[in-house]
Structure 1
Amino acid sequence: MRTLLFILAIASLTACSSKKLSREQASEIIKKAYPRTIDWDVFTADPQVAAKALSTQLEQDGYITIQRKQTLSEMGNPFISFTEKSKPYLLATPEKDKAYKIQKVKLAEQHFNSITGMQLLSNDKKAIVEYTVVYKNVTPFVPISTLKIEPELKRKAYFALYDDGWRIVEKPDMDFLVQ
């Protein structure tokens, strides 16, 4: 009887200390990178950007004002100005960008949704995890960008087992995929 209990105790300890990546572990690690803010640079002094903005509802809805004509002395001044209503969507813009009349705006947030698949490699010491993200808090500024809002986006994360646990490998090389 003691032998059986000893074997069961060893088996449960071995199972608990297993280093195999689980879906739950992968989810927890990936979730740390989300939500992500998706932003866009609006070149306020660019006449082409102003023309694109004219084709949206941003001015009619009160988020921006667009100067339609400029005199020779006004050349280089912004065509697009942001109103009080747009302030919740304006992001911090580096001074260097401000000098070039660029304003960062928030488009949406990406949120982790679910894991769709896992592939274990190299004796369970590496893994490729496929997962989906969804857009939330979509702003009125999406039409001025090239962002296409899709119901779900598929992503991949590459994991490696280190002495302190599983980590995401940011830029895996070709050796990573060799089993």
Structure 2
Amino acid sequence: MKKGMIALVLIATLVGCSKELTRGKAKDLIREKYHYDEAINYEIHSLTQVENDEWIKRGLWNRGITEYGKKFFVLDPACSCFLTVPKVRPAIEITGITGDESLKIVKYNLLWFEELPREVRDIFKDHPPDQRSCYIRLYDDGWRVEN
């Protein structure tokens, strides 16, 4: 029994110290480093043709934003953008991890509309993802995102 417990603790320790950078670990590191767990305002500077057609189809060009809609869209005259989506947390989609054993280049997309209601997501279903990348380096104590 005692040998079995020692073996389990040893296996858990070895797995916890893994030097492999997984997509899940990269996602957690990116979320923590860039504070993507905090809600921020996302500015939409232009619409795709499909989004534009969706706005016209729904009659949104000649209507004001309702009280319910103001939770999801803000027309900010101080912003040079088309719309602002207030207080959203982006979903992170890891699209690729390349590099050597100690330095990885992680490419990822920020999906800004995942937490919003289906009606809002439908309008922006073809909005291009916010593509980004970062360097993640392996140190003695684990992986860290570099500036």
- Structure with max Cα Rg: 1
> Which structure shows the higher strand fraction?
1
